[in-house]
Amino acid sequence: MRKFLLTTYLYILLAPAALIGVGAASNQVVLWDNQGKFPVLVNDKLADHHRDDGSTVVGPDGFIDMEHVRMSSATHLNFLADIVNLGGDIYSVGDGLISLGEWLGGFAMPLYVFAVTLKLRRLSYVNSNDNNYRD
């Protein structure tokens, strides 16, 4: 199988899909282990921030919205949860892998076509030289 992937260059197409799959699985494991809630690392300043309706970002029960909850010692797999604060949004490791896979996916097909075309040209060149020596 490994030889097949290497000789056909299919790994170029599979790598972005694998990153997306691992990222999605990572996020899903966090949800499953926390009974459908996704922990978010929120500092006290952001937690006390008031919304337009007068409520705070984090409610008294620790919930941010229906799916997200403030990270605590009671939440599980915190290292895979939303821990990377990029300004206004907070991302998880899984979100980063999904984004990387999507970005690389944009390059995968052109790179695959280039690699296969280059290999076919090399094979064509070798075969044409072999025919010249036989004459």
- Rounded Cα distance, 27 and 80, in Å: 7
* pTM score: 0.75
- Rounded Cα distance, 32 and 39, in Å: 12
Give pLDDT tens digits for 8-53. Answer: 889 899 999 999 999 999 999 999 999 988 898 886 666 565 555 5
Q: φ, ψ for residue 68 (rounded to 5)?
A: -100, 140
More confident residue, 37 or 125: 37
Most confident of 15-29, 49-63, 68-82: 15-29
**pLDDT band at residue 131 under the 50/70/90 scheme:** low
More confident residue, 69 or 104: 104
Could you state, in order of their start, the residue ranges of all structural domains in the chain? 2-134
